[in-house]
């Protein structure tokens, strides 16, 4: 039976070497280059580690190597299932590379985002993935200047100084509103905000563009701004829609994300409206809750996990490939039509 170190201290590499009857160099090789150690010796060292309860000092290894065995993802909104699905895709790729994933939530606050990034740089993560509050923020440029592999997720890189992975949000806005026009709607609300969020701004841009192309009066595409992209804000938007004069009240709404759409749907059902007969609703993201809603929600689908996997692939390539070339990966959104928009209106 291997002897445990005394004085309650954690077992060290020296303790493992003594217990296995090998040199410190052999233990180091087992930890770092196991292929160069014979199977018999490696098994003896590993058995000593298990008996002693030895845990590798990753902090010390990190200092020697200059990086940790981890990636990090700073998400924009921890309350939105979309970002959890993206994180799951990143984690899958990280596990394939034998890395861990740190997940942080900026909650849409730039100062909180900057603090997370500062801590992650101190942790010497191998790469950082982020859905930023502001893609032009100075603290993002600082990451690239420090030489840390960096990928922007769900936003495009305007300068091209780093990789990015995103869906064409302008096209997504076009798809959603064209679907409502095809369903016979001539007064439509765009529900979403604040416009400081690039995704909201670009989805509204696409909605307005296709509305104009169909020759619709500008005033009949009504923008209902929200303070956040949440279920509560969707309910509040429903109250404001209900308060509009009947001659101005939209017969359909395109919401900037599914959480807003689900809140609007909840308000409509509670108010006794028939969806889609009285109000048709389209969301964006196609989170799992969309199909499971009381009235299954039509939504513009983003390939959430594929976004995450692609972003992780790019950041790992930058970390390990000297010939890495920055890539701006763009995915095409797709409409998933469900009961909340029904059939063509007569």
The answer to whether 137 and 111 have CB atoms below 8 angstroms apart is no
Q: Say if residue 153's pLDDT is above 50.
A: yes
DSSP, res 36: G
- Using pLDDT thresholds of 50, 70 and 90, give the confidence band for residue 1: very low
The set of long-range contacts for 6-15, using a CB threshold of 8 Å and a minimum separation of 24, is 10/55, 11/52, 11/53, 11/54, 12/54, 13/54, 15/52, 15/54
- Using pLDDT thresholds of 50, 70 and 90, give the confidence band for residue 144: confident
Mean pLDDT, residues 76-86: 96
Specify which residues 328 forms β-bridges with.
164
Q: Say if residue 63's pLDDT is above 50.
A: no
pLDDT of residue 333: 98
pLDDT of residue 141: 84
pLDDT of residue 195: 86
- Using pLDDT thresholds of 50, 70 and 90, give the confidence band for residue 328: very high
pTM value surpassing 0.95: no
Interatomic CA distance for residues 214 and 248, integer angstroms: 19
Domains 13-56 and 169-303+335-341 share a fold: no
The answer to whether 137 and 308 have CB atoms below 8 angstroms apart is no
How many angstroms from the chain centroid is the CA of residue 37? 42
| Phi, psi at 271, each rounded to 5° | -80, 0
Q: Say if residue 319's pLDDT is above 70.
A: yes
Q: Which CATH architecture has domain 13-56?
A: Orthogonal Bundle (1.10)
| Phi, psi at 333, each rounded to 5° | -75, 165
Q: Which CATH architecture has domain 169-303+335-341?
A: 3-Layer(aba) Sandwich (3.40)
Q: Say if residue 58's pLDDT is above 70.
A: no
Q: Say if residue 10's pLDDT is above 80.
A: no
Residues 248-301 pLDDT 10s = 999 999 999 999 999 999 999 999 999 999 999 999 999 999 999 999 999 999
- Using pLDDT thresholds of 50, 70 and 90, give the confidence band for residue 190: very high
The reply to whether CATH 3.20.20.140 applies to domain 68-166+304-330 is no
DSSP, res 291: H
Residues 96-127 pLDDT 10s = 999 999 999 999 999 999 999 999 998 889 99
DSSP string, 97-164: TT-EEEEEE-TT-HHHHHHHHHHHHHTT-SEEEE--S-TT-HHHHHHHHTT--EEEESS--SS-SSEE
pLDDT of residue 46: 92
Q: Say if residue 219's pLDDT is above 60.
A: yes
The answer to whether 265 and 340 have CB atoms below 8 angstroms apart is yes
Indicate the domain borders of the chain. Answer: 13-56, 68-166+304-330, 169-303+335-341
Angle value at C-alpha 214, between 211 and 215, nearest 5 degrees: 90
Q: Say if residue 3's pLDDT is above 60.
A: no
pLDDT of residue 68: 81
Mean pLDDT, residues 29-47: 90
Q: Say if residue 91's pLDDT is above 70.
A: yes
Interatomic CA distance for residues 46 and 241, integer angstroms: 67
Q: Say if residue 7's pLDDT is above 80.
A: no
């Amino acid at each position: 039976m291997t002897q445990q170190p005394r004085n309650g201290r954690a077992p060290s590499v020296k303790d493992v070497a003594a217990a296995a009857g090998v040199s410190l160099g052999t233990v180091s090789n087992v930890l770092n280059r196991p292929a160069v150690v014979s199977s018999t010796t490696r098994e003896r060292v590993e058995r000593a580690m298990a008996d002693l309860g030895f845990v590798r000092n990753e902090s010390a290894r990190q200092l020697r190597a200059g990086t940790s065995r981890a990636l990090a993802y700073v998400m924009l909104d921890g309350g939105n299932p979309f970002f959890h699905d993206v994180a799951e895709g990143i984690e899958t790729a990280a596990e394939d590379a034998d890395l861990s994933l740190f997940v942080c939530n900026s909650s849409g606050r730039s100062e909180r985002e900057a603090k997370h990034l500062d801590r992650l740089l101190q942790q010497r993560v191998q790469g950082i993935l982020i859905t930023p509050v502001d893609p032009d923020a100075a603290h993002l440029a600082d990451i690239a200047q420090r030489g840390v592999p960096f990928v922007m997720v769900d936003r495009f890189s305007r300068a091209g100084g780093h990789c990015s992975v995103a869906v064409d949000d302008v096209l997504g806005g076009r798809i959603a509103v064209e679907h409502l026009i095809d369903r016979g709607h001539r007064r439509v609300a765009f529900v979403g905000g604040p416009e400081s969020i690039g995704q909201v701004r670009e989805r509204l841009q696409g909605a307005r563009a296709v509305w104009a192309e169909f020759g619709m009066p500008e005033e009949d595409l009504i923008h209902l701004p929200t303070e956040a992209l949440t279920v509560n804000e969707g309910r509040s938007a429903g109250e404001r829609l209900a308060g509009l004069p009947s001659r101005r009240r939209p017969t359909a709404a395109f919401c900037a994300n599914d959480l807003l759409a689900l809140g609007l749907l909840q308000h409509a059902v509670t108010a006794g409206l028939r969806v889609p007969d009285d109000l048709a609703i389209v969301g964006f993201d196609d989170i799992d809750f969309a199909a499971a809603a009381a009235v299954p929600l039509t939504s513009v689908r983003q390939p959430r996990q594929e976004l995450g996997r692609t972003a992780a692939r790019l950041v790992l390539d930058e970390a390990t490939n000297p010939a890495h070339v920055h890539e701006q990966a763009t995915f095409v959104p797709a409409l998933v039509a469900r009961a909340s928009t029904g059939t063509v209106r007569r």
